[in-house]
Each structure stands twice: as C-alpha cells, then as structure tokens.
Amino acid sequence: MPNHAVIVREVATSVSTPATVETGIPFIVGLSPVHNAESPAGVGVPVLCTTYAEFVEKLGWSDDWSTYNLCEFAYAHFKLYGQSPAIFCNLLDPATMKSAVAAADKTVTAKKVELTVKGINDAGLVVKAAGGNGTAYVKDTDYSVYYNEAGKLIVELLPDSTHYSEASLNIAFNEVTPASVTASSVAAGFEKVELCMFTLGLVPDLLVAPGFSKNSVVAAIMATKANGINGMFKAKALIDIDTSVADSYDDVVTEKTSKNFFDKNEIVCWPMVKLGDLTFHLSSHLAGIIARTDYEYAAPYVSPSNKGLQCDSLVVAGGTEVILSLDQANYLNGQGVVTGLNFMGGFKAWGNYTACYPAVQDVKDYFIPVNRMFDWVGNTLIKTFWYKLDEAMNRRLIDSIMDSANIWLNGLVGSGYLLGARVEMLESENPTTDLMAGIVRLHVYITPPSPAQEIDFILEYDASYVQEALG
C-alpha cells in the first residue's frame, strides 16, 4: 500500500561523542583491617569507595598505618585532599590469615575488656570466668562483642548477666596475621586491576602501594601494569624510595639506581611527609594532589608540581625531619624524583619528571603532565571507538572515526589542554595487505603544553631613561 503522508526518519549521527576517560583515579593494593568492618568487602577484589565513611564501612579502620597501609591512603585521599573515588584491593584475609591467642585473664574496666585491633570476632572468641574454669559465657546473653572507633575488639558485659560484676575475664580469641601479606603478595595483587573495567566500569590511572612500592619487584610489576591495564589502558605507578635506607637527599639517587626505578610509567617520591602526629608516604599525598589538579583543570595537562602538600614537615623513617634547600630539591628533580619543598607559601610537591629522567630525553616520556596527556588521549580514543570494532571497514567508517577524533582534539586545543592536534591516515602506514587483513592505522599528532618550570627575567640597565626622566 503506498504511503500518502509526510515521513520523518532518524539516522545515527556520523560523528561520535567522545567517551572521555576520568583521570586521577587511584588503585591501591595492601592491607586493611577488614575483619572490623561493618559490611566487610571481599578479599583480593577491587572495592570502590567514594567517601571516608564508606571506606571504614567496607574495609575497616586502624590507626596502625605501618601495618594497614590502605587506611593511610584513605585518610590522605578523602580527608586531606577531598578526592573521590578510589579503588582499594585488600589482601588480608581474616578467614585464613589468623592465629590463636591463648586464653588469659583480662582486667575488666567500665564493664569492658579492650583487645587488639588484630582481634577477630569469630568462633575462636571464648569468654570464661577468671582462671578459665567452668563453662564458657554466652555471647549476647552474658556479653556483647563489637569494635570501637579505633578498630579494637571490645568484649562488654551485659547488665542482665549474672557475671556483670566480674572484675576480670578469661578470654581466648583469634587474631589476624598481617605478616602473611608479603611484598610478593602485593605484587601479585596488582593483577586485580584488570577487573576494574569489568566489575566497576572504571579504569584507574594511578597505581599505589604505600609501604610496599619501595620494593623493586613490587615497583616493577606496578610499572608493567601501568603500561597496559587490560592490555591497552595506560596509568602511572607512584613509587616511594625507602627512607630507612635513603635517609638523606644525597642517598636517594643511589637507592633509585639500585632498585632500577627508571621507567617512564613510574613517578618516584622521596621522602615521607608528616602532619601533626600523622606520618604518610609521599605517594599517598601525591595521588591526592594529582587527582585534585586533574579535577580543577578538567584534564591531566597541568603538573602536580608546586601544588600544596597537606603537611607541616618532611621526614624519613623513624621521624627524623628533612629540611631541603631549593638547590637540593632541584637536584632530586633533576634525577627523576618528586619531593617536597617548603618555599614561597608552605609545603609543595616539587618535581615535573617521571622516573626515566635524565636517562631518557624524549619530552613525551619525561614530563609528567605531557606523558599523562598521552595516556589520557590514548585511553579516551580506545574507549570512544571500541564500539566501531568489527564494522565494515570502508571509507565511511574511517572518515567518521577521523572526523569524530579531530573534532574532539580541536576542542582540547581550543580549551588550552593541547597546543595542537590532528588525526591523519597515512598511506605509508597502511599497506594494502594490512587493509585487506582488516587493519587500519590512524596517526594522531598531539602536543601537550610543557610545564613552565623555568621563567627567566633578564634585567638590563637602560641609560636612555635617565635622559627621559631628568633631561
């Protein structure tokens, strides 16, 4: 039957909207006291947290950051830098990594017995009368069990119990064994970053392991993962120099060399930082600075250098304060190390170079913001045009990809994120045999701005002004 009407049809837009990849998302591997969490997250899996409260709920809390490095990072990222989200991977498994604490008499204070942060509220907890004689008391009838704000296991006598007036209790319990998580465990844990895209829909671009990244094996695995998450997405590994070995700035290069920290995907940090009584690895703070800077500028084209550190001193292991002069800090920068500097307005992160500098002299590799812009542009192109895979490879498909990419890149240039950019299909890179095999190569030219790390004023006495002023 013929149509007798005005017909309107829609077709797909030929230009794709870029699926811009978020930046400044850290993936942190290590330990947390998940056994004292209200809603414990799975062990060895990526856990997305958007607030400090959510971290505590899912992964627990302890002030013992030398043991539970994820707590250190969460405090810095959420509380000090106000950044979100972060993805954590806890490797401490309370179900298997535990040991029994022999029964012993404990003094009751204010009807409570305070056990350790390591204590586990499981079937291994047995409460009896002092001396350990008689039958075990009944949980939730004679006593309750919970964790306080410091993460410590608490046994509290209940008012309706016949044992409410006891002055001491005999308690046996299980406690976690954090030493079961080794540097090798953490290195292997970075394999879990591959799951982030599938389980969370996010690809982190910062890899962090405070307290463990000083290990050469851990750092090497982090750098390898940073070079290709899921085989394609790029990231940066934030690495800490061991301050118990390099406790002075002139020892840093020796330690960097001995650990082979020279990868373009590594950003090496030294020393540690302190705020009040709290001590942090510099990598925990640098991740917050990077995330905050990326958010403020909407793209990773600005260096984290000369951005505020939330600290009041620089320290090494053991708490000894480090005071760096500008020359000393610049020396470290010139060796591919990011440090801190208290100069012209408080403590700032200081350094624009990745770990490959000065051995590598390619600007796209050695400048942190330039290298991260290459990562970001590449990650965005992958995510944007993934759905074009396996379509018929004809001129229309290629033109639609190039047009979409060029429009997006032109927008980045207009916003000042890039100095210039374009996409071309070069005949020399696309031989007929490859085109027949379904392989097309598009050449992307981009020029991110370099950081203005040296601004020179040249002063000259101009005698002509004498005559103008006095003649």
Largest CA-CA distance found in the chain, in angstroms, rounded: 109
Over its C-alpha atoms, the chain yields an Rg (Å, rounded) of 28
Mean pLDDT throughout 28-39? 98
Using 50, 70 and 90 to split pLDDT, how confident is the model at 11? Answer: low
Terminal CA-CA length for the chain: 99
The per-residue pLDDT for range 72-119, each reduced to its tens digit, is 999 999 999 999 999 999 999 999 999 999 999 999 999 999 999 999
Is the pLDDT score of 9 beyond 80? Answer: no
CATH number at 26-92+182-368: 3.40.50
Q: What is the pLDDT of residue 22?
A: 86
The per-residue pLDDT for range 43-72, each reduced to its tens digit, is 999 999 999 999 999 999 999 999 999 999
Using 50, 70 and 90 to split pLDDT, how confident is the model at 20? Answer: low
Is the pLDDT score of 309 beyond 70? Answer: yes
Residues with Cβ within 8 Å of 244's Cβ and at least 6 positions away in sequence, in order, are: 316, 317, 318
Spatial separation of the C-alpha atoms in residues 237 and 429, rounded to whole Å: 32
Is the pLDDT score of 236 beyond 70? Answer: yes
Is the pLDDT score of 261 beyond 80? Answer: yes
The per-residue pLDDT for range 205-231, each reduced to its tens digit, is 999 999 999 999 999 999 999 999 999
The per-residue pLDDT for range 150-180, each reduced to its tens digit, is 999 999 999 999 999 999 999 999 999 999 9
Beta strand pairing status for 443-447 and 272-275? unpaired
Question: What SS3 state is found at 174?
Answer: strand
Average pLDDT, the chain: 95
Spatial separation of the C-alpha atoms in residues 308 and 286, rounded to whole Å: 10
Tokens 């209790």 belong to 169
- Whether cis (ω within 30° of 0) applies to the bond prior to 94 is no
Q: With contact defined as beta carbons under 8 Å apart, do 303 and 297 qualify?
A: no
Beta-bridge mates of residue 147: 153
**Which regions of the chain carry the CATH code 3.40.50?**
26-92+182-368
Spatial separation of the C-alpha atoms in residues 352 and 56, rounded to whole Å: 34
